[in-house]
Amino acid sequence: MPVIVPRSYFQYGNWPGYYKLLKHPQLAVTWAETSNPGSMLYVNFEDHKQLEASGRSVHDIAMHNLRTAGTLTTHEKAVGGEVVFLAMMHADGLGTSRLLLLPELAQLFPKGYVCGIPERSCGIVAPRNLPDESHSQILAMVNGCYEGGTTPMLPGMFEPDLFQVVDA
Protein backbone atom coordinates (compact mmCIF):
# COMPACT_ATOMS: atom_id res chain seq x y z
CA MET A 1 0.00 0.00 0.00
CA PRO A 2 1.23 3.53 -0.61
CA VAL A 3 1.82 5.55 2.55
CA ILE A 4 1.97 9.36 2.55
CA VAL A 5 4.65 10.52 4.97
CA PRO A 6 6.38 13.80 5.80
CA ARG A 7 9.55 14.44 3.79
CA SER A 8 11.29 15.01 7.10
CA TYR A 9 11.41 11.21 7.48
CA PHE A 10 14.20 11.19 4.92
CA GLN A 11 16.29 14.14 6.08
CA TYR A 12 18.97 12.04 7.79
CA GLY A 13 19.36 9.48 5.01
CA ASN A 14 18.54 6.52 7.24
CA TRP A 15 15.11 5.58 5.85
CA PRO A 16 15.08 1.80 5.18
CA GLY A 17 13.59 2.01 1.68
CA TYR A 18 12.83 4.03 -1.41
CA TYR A 19 10.31 6.83 -1.65
CA LYS A 20 8.89 9.28 -4.19
CA LEU A 21 8.22 12.95 -3.66
CA LEU A 22 4.77 14.43 -3.98
CA LYS A 23 4.20 17.91 -5.42
CA HIS A 24 3.43 19.12 -1.90
CA PRO A 25 6.77 20.44 -0.59
CA GLN A 26 6.40 18.64 2.75
CA LEU A 27 5.11 15.24 1.60
CA ALA A 28 6.35 12.05 -0.01
CA VAL A 29 5.05 8.54 -0.60
CA THR A 30 6.66 5.28 0.42
CA TRP A 31 5.20 1.78 0.52
CA ALA A 32 4.20 -0.74 3.15
CA GLU A 33 3.01 -4.31 3.28
CA THR A 34 -0.25 -4.55 5.25
CA SER A 35 -1.21 -8.22 5.02
CA ASN A 36 -1.34 -8.63 8.81
CA PRO A 37 -4.29 -6.74 10.31
CA GLY A 38 -3.22 -3.89 12.55
CA SER A 39 0.38 -3.87 11.36
CA MET A 40 2.37 -2.23 8.61
CA LEU A 41 5.84 -3.21 7.42
CA TYR A 42 7.62 -0.68 5.20
CA VAL A 43 9.03 -2.06 1.95
CA ASN A 44 12.80 -2.04 2.40
CA PHE A 45 15.46 -1.61 -0.28
CA GLU A 46 15.92 -5.38 -0.81
CA ASP A 47 12.21 -6.18 -1.18
CA HIS A 48 11.75 -3.16 -3.44
CA LYS A 49 14.58 -4.25 -5.74
CA GLN A 50 13.19 -7.81 -5.93
CA LEU A 51 9.75 -6.57 -6.96
CA GLU A 52 11.15 -4.13 -9.51
CA ALA A 53 13.52 -6.80 -10.91
CA SER A 54 10.48 -8.92 -11.72
CA GLY A 55 9.29 -6.12 -14.01
CA ARG A 56 6.70 -4.80 -11.58
CA SER A 57 6.62 -1.22 -10.33
CA VAL A 58 6.24 -1.09 -6.54
CA HIS A 59 4.25 2.12 -6.83
CA ASP A 60 1.91 0.64 -9.46
CA ILE A 61 1.37 -2.48 -7.33
CA ALA A 62 0.67 -0.35 -4.26
CA MET A 63 -1.79 1.88 -6.12
CA HIS A 64 -3.61 -1.18 -7.48
CA ASN A 65 -3.82 -2.60 -3.95
CA LEU A 66 -5.17 0.71 -2.67
CA ARG A 67 -7.80 0.89 -5.40
CA THR A 68 -9.02 -2.62 -4.59
CA ALA A 69 -8.84 -2.29 -0.79
CA GLY A 70 -12.50 -1.33 -0.36
CA THR A 71 -14.46 1.88 -0.33
CA LEU A 72 -12.87 5.19 -1.23
CA THR A 73 -14.40 7.03 1.72
CA THR A 74 -15.72 6.04 5.13
CA HIS A 75 -17.77 9.07 6.24
CA GLU A 76 -19.91 11.67 4.52
CA LYS A 77 -21.56 14.88 5.58
CA ALA A 78 -24.26 16.15 3.26
CA VAL A 79 -26.73 19.01 3.62
CA GLY A 80 -29.80 19.09 1.43
CA GLY A 81 -28.42 16.29 -0.72
CA GLU A 82 -25.16 18.17 -1.40
CA VAL A 83 -21.88 16.73 -0.11
CA VAL A 84 -20.15 19.05 2.33
CA PHE A 85 -17.17 16.76 2.94
CA LEU A 86 -16.04 13.16 2.69
CA ALA A 87 -13.66 11.58 5.18
CA MET A 88 -11.29 8.68 4.73
CA MET A 89 -10.64 6.98 8.05
CA HIS A 90 -10.12 3.37 7.02
CA ALA A 91 -9.40 0.50 9.40
CA ASP A 92 -6.00 0.00 7.73
CA GLY A 93 -4.93 3.40 9.12
CA LEU A 94 -4.15 4.69 5.63
CA GLY A 95 -7.03 7.06 5.02
CA THR A 96 -4.60 9.71 3.84
CA SER A 97 -3.32 7.37 1.12
CA ARG A 98 -6.71 7.63 -0.57
CA LEU A 99 -5.82 11.26 -1.39
CA LEU A 100 -3.53 9.73 -4.04
CA LEU A 101 -6.59 8.41 -5.90
CA LEU A 102 -6.92 11.60 -7.92
CA PRO A 103 -9.00 10.23 -10.84
CA GLU A 104 -11.51 8.64 -8.48
CA LEU A 105 -11.84 11.80 -6.38
CA ALA A 106 -12.18 13.96 -9.51
CA GLN A 107 -15.11 11.78 -10.58
CA LEU A 108 -16.83 12.43 -7.24
CA PHE A 109 -16.20 16.18 -7.52
CA PRO A 110 -16.40 17.16 -11.22
CA LYS A 111 -16.41 20.88 -10.27
CA GLY A 112 -13.22 20.46 -8.24
CA TYR A 113 -12.28 19.75 -4.67
CA VAL A 114 -9.75 20.50 -1.95
CA CYS A 115 -7.96 18.06 0.36
CA GLY A 116 -7.04 17.96 4.01
CA ILE A 117 -4.41 15.67 5.52
CA PRO A 118 -4.59 16.58 9.20
CA GLU A 119 -3.60 13.26 10.70
CA ARG A 120 -1.83 10.13 9.43
CA SER A 121 -5.02 8.06 9.43
CA CYS A 122 -7.45 10.71 8.16
CA GLY A 123 -7.94 12.30 4.76
CA ILE A 124 -10.66 14.87 4.08
CA VAL A 125 -12.02 16.08 0.75
CA ALA A 126 -14.55 18.84 0.17
CA PRO A 127 -16.07 20.37 -2.93
CA ARG A 128 -14.33 23.51 -4.12
CA ASN A 129 -17.60 25.41 -4.57
CA LEU A 130 -18.71 25.41 -0.91
CA PRO A 131 -20.06 28.60 0.64
CA ASP A 132 -17.44 30.43 2.73
CA GLU A 133 -19.16 29.48 6.00
CA SER A 134 -19.07 25.75 5.19
CA HIS A 135 -15.47 25.97 4.03
CA SER A 136 -14.52 27.73 7.29
CA GLN A 137 -16.22 24.98 9.32
CA ILE A 138 -14.37 22.25 7.44
CA LEU A 139 -11.08 24.09 7.81
CA ALA A 140 -11.69 24.39 11.58
CA MET A 141 -12.46 20.65 11.74
CA VAL A 142 -9.30 19.75 9.80
CA ASN A 143 -7.15 22.05 11.94
CA GLY A 144 -8.69 20.62 15.12
CA CYS A 145 -7.90 17.11 13.95
CA TYR A 146 -4.33 18.19 13.21
CA GLU A 147 -3.91 19.77 16.65
CA GLY A 148 -5.39 16.78 18.49
CA GLY A 149 -4.16 14.00 16.23
CA THR A 150 -2.11 11.03 17.33
CA THR A 151 0.20 11.44 14.32
CA PRO A 152 -0.37 14.98 13.00
CA MET A 153 0.43 15.66 9.36
CA LEU A 154 -0.57 19.17 8.15
CA PRO A 155 -3.15 21.82 8.98
CA GLY A 156 -5.19 23.46 6.21
CA MET A 157 -6.69 22.43 2.92
CA PHE A 158 -4.73 21.87 -0.29
CA GLU A 159 -5.17 21.60 -4.03
CA PRO A 160 -5.41 17.96 -5.17
CA ASP A 161 -2.55 18.30 -7.65
CA LEU A 162 -0.19 18.59 -4.65
CA PHE A 163 -0.80 14.86 -4.11
CA GLN A 164 0.66 13.92 -7.49
CA VAL A 165 3.90 11.94 -7.53
CA VAL A 166 6.63 14.11 -9.09
CA ASP A 167 9.62 11.86 -8.47
CA ALA A 168 8.66 9.16 -10.92
- Residue 87, C-beta contacts closer than 8 angstroms, at least 6 positions apart: 73, 74, 75, 76, 95, 122, 123, 124
> What pLDDT, in 10s, does the model give residues 25-79?
999 999 999 877 778 899 999 999 999 998 989 999 999 999 998 888 989 998 8
CA distance 130 to 135: 6
Kindly report the pTM of this predicted structure. Answer: 0.92
62-71 burial, b at 16+ Cβ within 10 Å, e below that, comes to bbebbeebee
- Compute the mean pLDDT over every residue in the chain, rounded to the nearest whole number: 92
Kindly write down the DSSP assignment for every residue of 134-145, as one continuous string: HHHHHHHHHHHH
C-alpha distance across the termini of the chain, in Å: 17
3-state secondary structure 76-115: EEEECCEEEEEEECCCCCCHHHHHHCHHHHHHHCCCCEEE
With a cut of 80, say whether residue 110 has pLDDT above it.
yes
Residue 126's SS3 state is strand
